[in-house]
Amino acid sequence: MEGMKPARVRSARLFFPVISPQVLPEATTRERILLKEAAEQPQDSRTDPLLGGALKATTLTFTNIHKHGDLFVDFMRMRHKVFIEGKGWDLPETDGIEFDQYDTAQARMIAIHSYGEVLAGIRLLPTTSRVGLHSYMLRDAQLGLLDSLPRDILFFEAPVSPLIWEATRLFIKPDVPAKLRAQVQVQLMTEMAKVAREAGATHVIGIVPAVFRRWMARIGMSASPVGAPLVIDGDKVCAALFPVIEFVN
């Protein structure tokens, strides 16, 4: 299986040195000050000052979940509600919890929560990850190990580097109020960039909805498409590469 590659696939080394993401509008001065203050809070759990302390971001790992009560279980249950109950995805589940082969001790789960309720989340996994036959989602798709994604998901050979982490299972709770949704989105992507940077990454790669590029401009983030557009369960998505080394100081 390792030797089988789609005809379209080319080495990532031909792409990464020359990627020039689209220049997006910068965040306002006030937004940058507030986001900088949030980034300087302790790593495990940070509060978004834009909401006066109501919105928190917590990074969960196998070594710290005991410090955060039921947050890890609530995070996995919210994934079940979003992806299995909401989207109807055929995923492993038990006791109202959704999980898969990428929920390993190498993963970081980022939960955005308020007063005990999980509002959004995302999972980060190093592209150097390896558990049995599996590595990370985009690479496994390219190797033909996943029926749910095409093998030509990327324009190049899936990278394996400590400098690149993969983002998956990105969600925002559907009933988050409109006035709060933008704040949740900003906090989620800000935390994703910071956690990846703290892990030594310079880039994050993953499949994201096409609409995400529109509001990413609010925090000065950019993204380069690195795969052809797809429609998954009615959502238009594509693989994208996010530089985090320039975003987080």
On whether residue 1 sits in a domain, the answer given is no
On whether residue 2 sits in a domain, the answer given is no
The boundaries of the domain holding residue 169 are 25-243
Give the residues of the chain that fall short of pLDDT 70. Answer: 1-53, 212-219, 246-249
> pLDDT of 125-182, one tens digit each?
999 999 999 999 999 999 999 998 999 999 999 999 999 999 999 999 999 988 888 8
Name the CA radius of gyration of the chain, rounded.
Answer: 17
Beta pairing, strands 235-243 & 93-94: unpaired
- Provide the pLDDT for residue 210: 74
- Provide the pLDDT for residue 57: 96
The conformation of residue 165, written as its DSSP 8-state character, comes to E
Domain with 45 in it: what CATH number?
Answer: 3.40.630.30
On whether residue 166 sits in a domain, the answer given is yes
On whether residue 63 sits in a domain, the answer given is yes
On whether residue 19 sits in a domain, the answer given is no
Q: Which tokens hold the place of 132? A: 């049995």
- Provide the pLDDT for residue 37: 52
Total residue count of the chain as it appears in this document: 249
- Provide the pLDDT for residue 167: 97
Please enumerate in sequence order all residues whose Cβ is within 8 A of that of 126, keeping only pairs 6 or more positions apart, or say none. 106, 136, 162, 164, 165, 166, 199, 201
E-assigned strands of the chain? Answer: 45-48, 55-60, 93-94, 97-98, 108-114, 117-126, 164-172, 203-209, 224-225, 230-232, 235-243
Q: Which one, of 183, 179, 180, 191, lies nearest residue 46 by Cα?
A: 191
On whether residue 11 sits in a domain, the answer given is no
- Provide the pLDDT for residue 154: 96
On whether residue 39 sits in a domain, the answer given is yes
Q: What is the largest CA-CA distance in the chain?
A: 53
The alpha carbon torsion through 40, 162, 58, 85 (nearest 10 deg) reads 150
Number of domains in the chain: 1
